[in-house]
Each structure stands twice: as C-alpha cells, then as structure tokens.
Amino acid sequence: MTEQKFHSGFVAIAGRPNVGKSTLLNAFLGEKIVITSDKPQTTRNRIQGIHNLSNGQIVFIDTPGVHRAKSRLNRSLVDTAMEAVRGVDAILYLVDATASPSAEKEIMQEVLGSATAPLYLAINKVDLVEKGKLLQLISDYAKLFNFKEIVPLSARDGDGVAMLADILCQALPEGPAYFPDDILTDLPERFVVAEMIREKVFRATRDEIPYSVAVQVESFRENPDGGVIAIAAAIIVERDSQKGIIIGKRGEMLKKIGTAARHEIEGFLAQKVFLELFVKVSRDWSDNPQKLREFGY
C-alpha cells in the first residue's frame, strides 16, 4: 500500500472587504478565532490560522480587504494585505457571488497581477444565487484570470469548505507540519481577546460608531491555581461623542459589550474570566502614524 504523502505550506486569503474572508477562515478551523461583522475592514492584521488534515497542514493568512485607501489606517491595511500575498505557497482569492465580476477586475489585477504563487478562486455566498447565474459567474471569472481551480461555496453554512481545503492541501509542497496539530493559531491570547471585544463593539453599536475603534488589553492576569482570569481592556475611540455612545445611558451599552465579550472569551480560553472595560479618547488616532504603531498597525 502506498504511503500517503504529507503536504504543508502557507495560503493567503485575499479579496475585497466584506466578502467573507474571516468567516471562511473560521469555517476551515472549525472554531472562531477571527472576528466578523458587516462593517468594512473588520480584519486589520495578518492573522494565521492552522488547519490540520490527515494528509497535510495548511497555514492560512487572513488579510484585510483590499480597497481604495484614503486614511493612514486604510493605507496601512491595504499594505498589510498586499504584503501577505507575497512569499506564500498559494493564494486564495474570495469573491461574493452577488457581486459583478467586472467590479472585481481592477482590484483583482492589483492584488494578483504580480503574484507568482498558484491562484485559486472561491465564490462565496452561493446560497444567494441561482444555479444558472453561478455557472455564468464561474465562466466569467475563468476569463479574468488563470485560476488553477474555481470553487463555489458558502462559508457561513460550510458547504464546499472541506472540498476547497482538500484542493489547497494537495497544491502545497510535500513536507512536515509547521506547527503541532493541536494549535489553531499563532496569535497571542491577548490579541484574540482584544479582537473579540472589538467585534462586540461593532455588533452592539451598529452604525453609530465607525470602524476606527481600537482595543488594547492593558492587563491579563492568570490565576496559578487555574481560577478566574482577570482582564482589563481599553476601548479607544476618536471623539468624546463616540465615548458616550459606547458607555451608553447609565453604562448599559458598555455592560452589554462586556457581557457578550466575556462569554466569548471564556469559550476561547476555556476558563472563567473577570473582564473590566473602560473607554478612552485618542483624537484622530486612525490618521496618526505614532498611534497606529502604538495600536499595532
């Protein structure tokens, strides 16, 4: 019997904002490590998720959405995404099935035009389009770029995700795993905790707060006996009016954010958590190079 060969390598997930890149990464991993929301540019850093299969290991790099950037923050995000597609073993470009291929052409050319790694296309949200339209989309995208494979899927429902993982794994070089098989991400716990809090701000405040919200975990104290983990974090906004919205009347909004974040953090850490949140104003931080560095961008 022929021994199954093991494949391992790095795959960058690229695409426009809000096409479902973070949802897809979480679907690959079977656990939520990347925050999602319907606000653009939720993902701000290169995030590595590690997917283990019987015959390989895929190290996924989730990237910020590529778009026409104006502020320093947005330019930083696009630079991060462009850097991520260099030096990987394969690039997975994700599109929304409800969007027009012609609208993707310019961004796709910018991201993939100079890429040397094999290119794969995933068409997400196929549950929202009819089969006839999907077949036309596949044909249209095949004419835009020389993709090795085009895979329709629904990241939210999980349809097509396992098949795509198998295709990508077989495309990677033969070689040993980069990480132990019980690790989902190389991100520090503090980073994931901060991102979970930031997501809850987005979901609780909806359109009242712009996406230029940062979160800094200021203390993370673990109990040596395995008891409650005490976490203190600052939610950073750009104006006093935003601070008032996040705190809410009699502190109700901040309490709502904290309760939702604590439940998710406890699931991630598999331990009880005492979470203390407070709000700080750092005026126009998203256009301040020093503040961007301070907040990790």
**pLDDT tens, residue by residue, 117-131:** 899 999 999 999 898
The gap between the terminal CA atoms of the chain, to the nearest Å, is: 50
Determine the average pLDDT of the residues in 70-84.
Answer: 53
- pTM, 2 dp: 0.70
pLDDT at position 272 is 92
Confidence of residue 41 (pLDDT cuts 50, 70, 90): very low
pLDDT per position as a tens digit, 239-255: 888 999 999 999 999 99
User: Cβ distance 91 to 116 under 8 Å?
Assistant: no
Q: How far apart are CA 165 and CA 184, in angstroms?
A: 15
Query: Could you please report the per-residue DSSP string of 265-285?
Result: HHHHHTS-EEEEEEEEE-TTG
pLDDT per position as a tens digit, 184-209: 887 788 888 988 898 899 888 876 67
Backbone torsions φ then ψ of 261, nearest 5 degrees:
-65, -40
**Cα-trace Rg, the chain:** 20
Q: How far apart are CA 275 and CA 270, in angstroms?
A: 14
Lowest model confidence (mean pLDDT) among 101-105, 108-112, 171-175: 108-112
The architecture that CATH gives domain 189-294 is 2-Layer Sandwich (3.30)
**Residue range(s) occupied by CATH 3.40.50.300 in the chain:** 7-171
User: Is CATH 3.40.50.1220 the right assignment for the domain spanning 7-171?
Assistant: no
At residue 68, does pLDDT exceed 60? no
Q: Work out the percent of the chain whose per-residue pLDDT is above 90.
A: 41
**Residue range(s) occupied by CATH 3.30.300.20 in the chain:** 189-294
Which of the two residues, 47 and 213, has the higher pLDDT score? 213
